[in-house]
Structure 1
Amino acid sequence: MTSLAAIFDMDGLLIDSEPFWAKAERMVFSSMGVELSDSLCRQTAAMTTREVTEFWYRRFPWKRKSIEDVENDVIDCVDELIRRHGKPMPGAKQIVDSFHRRNYRVGLSTNSPYRLINTVLEKLDIAQCFHGISSSEHVERRKPDPAVYLSTLQKLKVKPEHCVAFEDSASGVKAAKAAGIKTIAVPPAYNFDNPDYSLADRKWRSLHEFTKETL
């Protein structure tokens, strides 16, 4: 029997963690003497934690800590905020559980640091549903490169044509499509009409739009 799979992004799709990243970065970088502005912060939205840290260091070089230590401070802060205040995105737990109960192979592909994955999955009580997880931390290039999706496909032992991906970002949609996976985009409301999502096979307002007919 052919194995079928569903692969999910994490931040902004399964968990409402984007505000935590913004809060953690402002707290940590401000403490290092960085003068954050909204316009510069928007430039870092799609970056990895290391890229964001290097971005601010180039503009406001600090002396008391290494780039790696400051990056870890940001991740630690996000981890704590998720543990205390993390909440699932609408429909997230239901859709993951639905695929799991239907014996799909369930995977996760994220640009977030690997050590935050277990924190999120345990906070949402869905860790038992996943068969393969990948972070761009452990591949050569982050999304929109398909590497993190190809890594998860390999772990799930499924072919891309037997898989569906769920993404909230345009770069994530590009990554999944480049891996040959049919993709459903669930953009944030403020970005729903962005033409960059036109690559997606379908576009939903929320994961609550999932039905049996989707399968």
Structure 2
Amino acid sequence: MLKDIKAAIFDMDGTLIDSMWIWSKIDQEYLKKRDLPVPKDLKASIEHLTFEETATYFKNKFNIKDSINEIMDEWNHMAYDEYKFNVGLKPGAREYLETLKSMNIKIGLATSNNRVLLEAALKKNDIYHFFDTICTTDEVSRGKNFPDIYLLTADRLGINPKHCIVFEDILPAVQGAKSAGMKVVAIHDAFSENQKDLLIKEADKYIHTYEELLEVV
């Protein structure tokens, strides 16, 4: 998988860390607080959006009176302690990052999350220092179903997209990374289990844990 690869770009939530449950919990608690039901298609509707786009979706979909910034601030407040104290790494993630570093492969993070939460999670799990650059979708105009965030990360790493490999857990992001001309590994997450067959079809490789990759390095 790493032949001709000079940079690895990782998503964070659901890919490096086991955290998707936090956002499902926040969605439910946020809507419950307002006596609003959780639509069955909510996850599919928002999973590829940037943080701000998700807040905009909530404001319009549920007629929330708060501003976009107020919605995001409330979510960040709800999530902070979970990211700082309760999220853990996916099996083999740290070891795989160490392996990439030992091979002089540059490492980037491309996430829809924000700086405060990503730093809390990465530092809590002692992997923050592995990243040569960190990019968020707030820095681009479109979500992860487009190539923008991956191209920005590759540019900051100084690596041609054709020499990059991306690790993602959801279908729209896998498709966005593929459209950037990059090799893509899809990693299993319970919250994208319903996409498994399509992920296997769209990605260059599908794994359940990073331990599978450590066996063949």
How high is the TM-score relative to the length of structure 1?
0.88
Query: Would you identify which runs of 4 or more consecutive aligned residues in structure 1 move more than 6 Å?
Result: none
Deviation at 1:21, TM superposition (A): 0.9
Coordinate RMSD, CA, aligned: 2.1
Overall identity of the aligned pairs, in %: 28
Q: CA deviation at 1:34?
A: 4.7
1:25 is aligned, of 18, 21, 27, to: 27
- Please show how residues 88-127 of structure 1 align to structure 2 within 5 Å: 88-127=89-128
After superposition, the C-alpha distances for 1:60-101 in whole angstroms (9 at most, x for unaligned) are 3344x3231122110222122111211111111111121112
C-alpha deviation, 1:121, in angstroms:
1.4
The 1:12–1:171 alpha-carbon spacing in structure 2 relative to 1, beyond 3 Å, is same
- Matched residues in 2 for 1:126 and 1:12: separation? 15
Match of 1:14 in 2: 16
Equivalence for 2:211: 208
- The match for 1:77 is 78
Deviation at residue 49 of structure 1 after TM alignment = 2.9
Return 5+ residue gaps in structure 2 as ranges: none
Considering Cα pairs closer than 8 Å and 6+ residues apart, tell me whether 1 or 2 has the greater RCO: 2
Q: Is the 8 A contact 1:28 1:70 kept in 2?
A: no
1:58 deviation in Å? 2.3
Are the aligned partners of 2:52 and 2:138 in contact in 1 as well (CA < 8 Å)? no
Pairs aligned (count): 211
- Amino acid in structure 2 at the alignment position of 1:161: K
Local SS of the residue matching 2:13: coil
* Aligned residue runs from structure 1 range 1-215, under 5 A: 4-31=6-33, 33-42=34-43, 43-63=45-65, 65-188=66-189, 190-191=193-194, 193-211=196-214, 213-214=216-217
**Which segment drifts farther, 87-96 or 40-49?**
40-49
CA gap of 1:35–1:87, structure 2 versus 1, over 3 A, is same
* TM-score, scaled relative to structure 2: 0.87
